[in-house]
Structures are given as C-alpha cells and as structure tokens.
Amino acid sequence: MKTAQNGYTSYLAAIGIVLFFLLGWEAAVWGFGLPPYLLPAPSRVLATLFTHSGVYLNAAFLTFGEAGAGLVIGVLAGMTLASLLVLRPGMEKGVMALAILVKSTPLVAVAPLLTIWLGFGILPKVVITALVTFFPVLVNALAGMQHPDPALLDLFAAWRADRRSTYLHLRLPASLPYLFAALKISAPLALVGAVVAEWTGAAGGLGRMMWLAYTNLNLPYLFAAIFVLAFAGMLVYSLLVVLERWIIFWNRSEDVI
C-alpha cells in the first residue's frame, strides 16, 4: 500500500511540476510582452492545436505510423541479430563493428540521402526509424542474452543443455528486462527519427508541419506539433512502463506473499 501511495503522489508531483512550468511560461510571455513569432504562450499553442485538431491528428497518425513501423522493424532486427550472435558466437566482433558504424553515422547525414533514394513517401522514414532504434535493442538484448544469472547458466551447463535449449529457455527470457530498457530509449528515438526524416522532405506528418511552420515563422503552429510529440513520447513511455510491469512480473519484489 505504501509503495502504491508513493507512486500516486509522485505522479501528482510530476503533473504539478509541468503545470507550474506552463504557468510560469504563460506569465513570462504576458509579463515581458513577448511576440508570438518569438515565443507563443502555452494557451495560444493549445488554442492552435484545438482549432486545427483534425490536421494535427492526421499528421500525427502518419508520423506515429512511420515511427511505429520503424520501431517494430528495428526491434525485430536487433533481437534477431542478438540471437544469431548468441547462437553462433564468433561473428560478434565483426557484426558489432558494423553496427557501431551504423550507429555513429549521424542521423541527419543519412536522412537526406534516403529521401533522395527512396522518395517522399513513408519508406525512407521507416528505414531511418528502424536504423536508429535498431542499435539500442541489439546492444541491450545481446547483453541480456550473454549475461543471465550465472547460477542458472551453471545449472543449464550441469544439465548439459545444448545451445538451442539454453537460448530458448534461459537466454531469451532473461533478456526481456534488458529489452524493455532498450525500448524505453528506442521508442522516443523512433519519434525523433520519423520527424527528422520528414524534415528532409515529406508529403505529410508532424515533421513536415514543423518544417512548414518554421519556414513561415509560425511559432504557435510549430509549438503545437512539439506539444503533440512531447505528449506522445510521454504516453509511449508510460505504456512501456505498464507493459514491463505486466510482462516481467518476476522482477517485482513488492508482491511477495
């Protein structure tokens, strides 16, 4: 009960801090008389958002669809490659070198190229998103698969379990907590990937709207898109936390009988 109450109050505290920040922002804009093309007040941003809610909703659907598809592909690819490296050790160094190369190439450098090659449709966005989400998943899943509880590894070794059974019954489930740690990084990154890809040329989406608003110095429009993205990022993160508690039930220590 105590922990539940603490969780509740910490949520309230978080909401309070955000409200306080927004109110301070609002007061600053009115107090200093800042023009909306420099910094629009949150009330104005929200008004923009609600007047054009249909437009934002459509754009958000497109961007989140791209981000979601890219994330799914990135996660599947990361998990598959991590599994292969565990089942067929020996290629790890080479593959990881390649993965680090992909990871350290800046996203903004690749995005325009992919847009040139693949066009203004959703494909380059999905590819970019998959590329940025892939690496955290690969590294974390690999760490989880390579380092289960040593006592369990001993047990499987003493049983003479083969590589496949050890992977299936031990390494894979043991990597799930690591996978969630990766998802908490990758899911927000997926949104960044989709938006940045849209900046380099797109037919629609939140990134496209931001880019248009930016070139017109229409800051209320720009901020409305930022609000949607921030809210979506938070929502995805919270969903992941709930999902994690549900799937990795054995890591919870508070409900011991």
Partner 1 sequence: MHLQVEDLSHVYLGKMPRPALANLTFEVPAGQFVALVGPSGCGKSTLLRLAAGLLGVQSGSLLLDGLPPGQNGKWTAWMAQNPALLPWLTVEENLRLAGKLTGQGRKIPILSKVLREALQRVGLGDALKAYPHQLSGGMQQRAALARLLIHPAELWLMDEPFAALDELTRERLAEELLDLWQPQRPTVLWVTHNIREALLLADRILVLTPAPGEIAADIAVALPRPRQEDDPGFLYMVRQVRTCLEAGDGA
Q: What is the 3-state secondary structure (H, E, C) of 217-252?
A: CCHHHHHHHHHHHHHHHHHHHHHHHHHHHHHCHHHC
By beta-carbon proximity to partner 1, the closer residue of 117 and 169 is 169
Among 97, 59, 28, residue whose Cα is nearest residue 224: 59
Binding of partner 1 at residue 243 (CB under 8 A)?
A: no
32 scored as a contact of partner 1 (CB under 8 A): no
Q: Which of 183, 202, 77, 188 is nearest to 130 (CA)?
A: 77
Which of 1, 151 has the CB closer to partner 1? 151
226, 201, 191: which is closest to 63 by C-alpha? 191
Identified binder of partner 1 from the candidate list 5, 158, 215, 246, rule CB under 8 A: 158
Contact in structure between 202 and 194 (CB atoms under 8 Å)? no
Q: Is 87 an interacting residue with respect to partner 1 (CB under 8 A)?
A: no
- In angstroms, what is the minimal distance from the CB of 168 to partner 1? 10
The residue within the footprint of partner 1, chosen from 165, 234, 242, 243 (CB under 8 A), is: 165
Of 162 and 234, nearer to partner 1 (C-beta) is: 162
Stretch that binds partner 1, among 81-89, 126-134, 163-171, 208-216 (CB under 8 A): 163-171
Residues 206, 217: Cα–Cα separation, whole Å: 16
Q: Which is nearer to partner 1, 66 or 244 (CB)?
A: 244
CB 207 within 8 A of CB 194: yes
Taking CA atoms, 225 is separated from 48, 136, 221, in Å, by: 10, 26, 7
Tell whether residue 109 is a contact of partner 1 (CB under 8 A). no
Determine, following the binding rule CB under 8 A, whether residue 164 of this chain makes contact with partner 1: no
Whether residue 202 contacts residue 120, with contact meaning beta carbons closer than 8 Å, is answered with: yes
Exposure string of 98-135, with b = 16+ CB inside 10 Å and e = fewer, is: ebeeebeeebeebbeebbeebeeebbbbbbbbbbbbbb
Q: Among 39, 73, 96, 161, which residue interacts with partner 1 (rule: CB under 8 A)?
A: 161
- Exactly one of 173, 201, 204, 233 binds partner 1 (CB under 8 A); which one? 173
Give the one residue of 34, 72, 152, 230 binding partner 1; rule: CB under 8 A: 152
Q: Which is nearer to partner 1, 171 or 208 (CB)?
A: 171
End-to-end CA distance of the chain: 14
Contact segment (CB under 8 A) with partner 1 among 4-12, 24-32, 111-119, 248-256 equals: 248-256
Chain residues binding partner 1 by CB under 8 A are 149, 151-152, 154-161, 165, 169-170, 173, 248-253, 255-257
